[in-house]
Chain A
Amino acid sequence: AQSVTQLDSQVPVFEEAPVELRCNYSSSVSVYLFWYVQYPNQGLQLLLKYLSGSTLVKGINGFEAEFNKSQTSFHLRKPSVHISDTAEYFCAGLFLKTSYDKVIFGPGTSLSVIP
């Protein structure tokens, strides 16, 4: 069965400090991976995606993520966070060749940036 796990439900971090939000997946089929951000009372916005090729993917707002097949992980990182990065972050996997190309979202990680 396919799944996406985000072990950290809440991550507090001081402004200008680095942050890593963890995402792990389980799959017996090929997978595309995504990170989305949701600001309060808004829909989700795509931060970055990994389809194939280079395992280090750069996205918007200075975020990057690294695909690690052996560890089945796709952790999101930013070297220096800003107050404006306070939001909910969702990891998602698109599992190919299932009954349909099925996207599964993780439960989300709430990032709080402390001034």
Chain B
Amino acid sequence: NAGVTQTPKFRILKIGQSMTLQCAQDMNHNYMYWYRQDPGMGLKLIYYSVGAGITDKGEVPNGYNVSRSTTEDFPLRLELAAPSQTSVYFCASSYQTGDGYTFGSGTRLTVV
């Protein structure tokens, strides 16, 4: 049982480059989320999805885009990387409201 799988684990980007962070879950969870974690700040929600074809913005969506074409996959797109996007990114999923989240192991992104 893989749970939530994130790739890549590490990435260095130059300012202005773009990339996609991949997230896949094999638990048939309806809800999926992208968070970023910055030191001393906890986790901030970037985007979330309540099911295939449905996505919405969280607290800090600027500079990011998402899509959810299948239940399993929820990729996060960075179009024009900026140093402020240096962070650790976590994907999470849950079956329904009130369930705890299952987190992936994270992607550490550095923008230089």
Most buried by B among A43, A45, A90, A100: A43
In the assembled complex, how far is the CB of residue A115 from the closest CB belonging to chain B, in whole angstroms?
Answer: 26
Give the distance in Å from the alpha carbon of A100 to the alpha carbon of B56 in the complex: 10
Please count how many residues in chain A sit with their CB below 8 Å of the partner chain's CB atoms: 24
Is B45 part of the binding interface, using a Cβ–Cβ cutoff of 8 Å?
Answer: yes
Q: Which of A81-115 contact B (CB under 8 A)?
A: 90, 94, 96, 100-103, 105-108
Interface residue? A34 (CB, 8 A): yes
Is the interface on chain B under 10, 10 to 19, 20 to 34, or 35 or more residues? Answer: 20 to 34
Number of A-B contacts (CB under 8 A): 52
B2 in contact (CB, < 8 A) = no
A72 proximal to B (CB < 8 A): no
User: What secondary structure prevails in chain B residues at the interface with A?
Assistant: strand
B42 pairs with A94, CB closer than 8 A: no
A42 touches B105 (CB 8 A): yes
B98 touches A32 (CB 8 A): yes
Contact A101 B100 (CB under 8 A): no
Q: Which residue of A lies closest to B40 (CB)?
A: A107
Task: Report how far A90 CA is from B50 CA in the complex, Å.
Answer: 23
**Shortest distance between the CB of B18 and any CB in chain A (Å):** 24
- Assuming A45-B103, A100-B56, is B42 touching A106 (CB within 8 A)? yes
Q: Which residues of B contact A (CB under 8 A)?
A: 4, 35, 40-45, 48, 50, 56, 90, 92, 97-98, 100-106
